[in-house]
Amino acid sequence: MTFLCYLEAVNLSHLYQDCNDLSTSRGGGLAVLSLGQDAAQWLNADGLHATVVSQGASQGLLRVEAADEERIRGLLRRCLRDDELLRYATVAIGTLPEEPGALPRQRAQLQALARWQQMTSPAVVYPPLRGRSVCRTDGLRPAPEGEESPFTRLRRDHGRRKKHDLLREILGEEAGSFEVVQHIQELAAGGDRFGNLKEKIAVLHFDGNSFGSQSASRQTPEALSEFSEGVIRQQKAFFKDLVNSGGAEWWSNLEGVRKLRLEIVLFGGDEIAFLTPAWLGWSSLVHFYDYLKRHPPVRGAELTYSAGLVFCHQKAPIHPIKVLAHDLSDQAKARGQGKGNFVCYQSLESFDNVGQDLDEYLDRLYRFTGGTGVRLSAEQAALLEQHMPAWRGALSKRKLFRLARQAGWGESPEKITKESLAESADALDAASAQALDCLLSGLGAAAVLHLAELWDYAGGAR
């Protein structure tokens, strides 16, 4: 008999958001990244026949040939208990006998079962008591004095080991020329030549728009599998293309050993998150949207993403920054009504955060535009990346920042034209003048805020 089996790792914050150690948080995230594939391998190893229908980060949908549902659930629970790392995760498991032609409805039923299991399960798997102190890394779990908890040690070791595997999986043979970075300080090393971007990083988060309806429109397991595999293939190919397009000098710290300046946090579903040096952040954002346009995951699938991007110092606490990037992508989605490629970003100078409700903060900052200047389209982001080097040489930084300060207090700046921003009448060449006109016509006075904020960041690596 054929069953549909759905697995989802839930209550994920304790897996990778409880400490600022990069390897530990990476290990927690990667532990559930290929949950669907892992489950299929476990079931096949025990004599059942399981195939992956769809998968994303921390979830998977399988078709399984088995005598009954309980055997499927029992085998998976046993394998999860036996896995030294996943035993600490909360994984919801749902099964249903497959009904021909009813895939969308059955997927919704299985996801509802997962939500019910999540709500009726403890938020955190209770850790073993090891000593009377707390873990030196996460500051939460029991551990002997001055040591790490078993879960944190396993995550850190897994994160260091799996990053090499992930690099080889994405870059293929080219991965052999790179080592991986183990600390954020290594990610931003060598930034002296980029002036104000020294020791700064970019945190990017992309959230797919209407992926649920895209996948729900696939009425058969075969069509859903084609879509799921196409999305994963597209995302992996993007990372490879990103590194190749920038040139080795941008993606290596060039300090004896070539270490890849890229920390992949999440991919494989409707969300993608990664870290780069600050001078590569904006160009990576633009490259993502350009690659999507040129390489659809499957024929007829026009996917769009809302993006959040944060520029910050390398010593900023990374998890609040990742949360802020996620929240900014939600802002881009809400303000763009999920109908296109839009980005919201923030530039933080040290440990700062917006310090209040994000929606309220952005509305206050752009209140002179009625809030319309908060988001940028992918096309506007590309204009800034392409023409910012020319604008830096032609525009008056003093005038621009004076107007930006005025706008930053919520006041409507005086009428903005390209002539009012340029150092001189002939400072702008024809291409950069036309691009600036396009930006001003699309954003109005809000353009001065974006030009000022991105003065150092856009076009920084070219």
Identify any residues that bridge with 4 across adjacent strands, giving them in sequence order. Answer: 63, 96
pLDDT (tens, 9 = 90+) of the chain, 462 residues, equals: 999 999 999 888 888 877 777 788 888 888 888 899 999 999 999 999 999 999 887 899 999 999 889 999 999 999 999 999 999 889 999 999 999 989 989 999 999 999 999 998 877 777 777 667 888 888 888 888 888 888 889 998 888 888 878 888 887 776 666 777 777 888 887 666 777 888 899 999 999 888 777 777 788 888 888 888 888 889 999 998 888 876 556 677 656 567 788 888 888 888 899 999 998 999 999 999 999 888 888 776 778 999 999 999 888 888 888 889 999 999 999 888 888 899 999 988 655 555 668 888 887 777 777 667 788 999 999 999 999 999 988 888 888 888 877 766 656 666 677 777 877 767 788 888 899 889 888 888 888 889 988 999 998 754
Instruction: Give pTM, 2 decimals.
Output: 0.88
Q: Write down all domains in the chain, each with its CATH number in brackets.
A: 2-123 (3.30.70.270), 178-353 (3.30.70.270), 383-453 (no CATH)
Q: Which residue has the tokens 């900014």?
A: 328
d(CA 418, CA 411): 20
Any idea what DSSP says for residue 150? H
d(CA 335, CA 354): 18
Neighbours of 282 (CB within 10 A): 28
Give the pLDDT confidence score for residue 462 in this predicted structure: 44
d(CA 301, CA 328): 25
Q: Are strands 133-134 and 342-347 parallel, antiparallel or unpaired?
A: unpaired
Element at 95 (helix H, strand E):
strand 90-97
Give the pLDDT confidence score for residue 420 in this predicted structure: 74
- Burial level of 147, CB count in 10 A (0-12/13-18/19+)? middle
- Burial level of 353, CB count in 10 A (0-12/13-18/19+)? middle
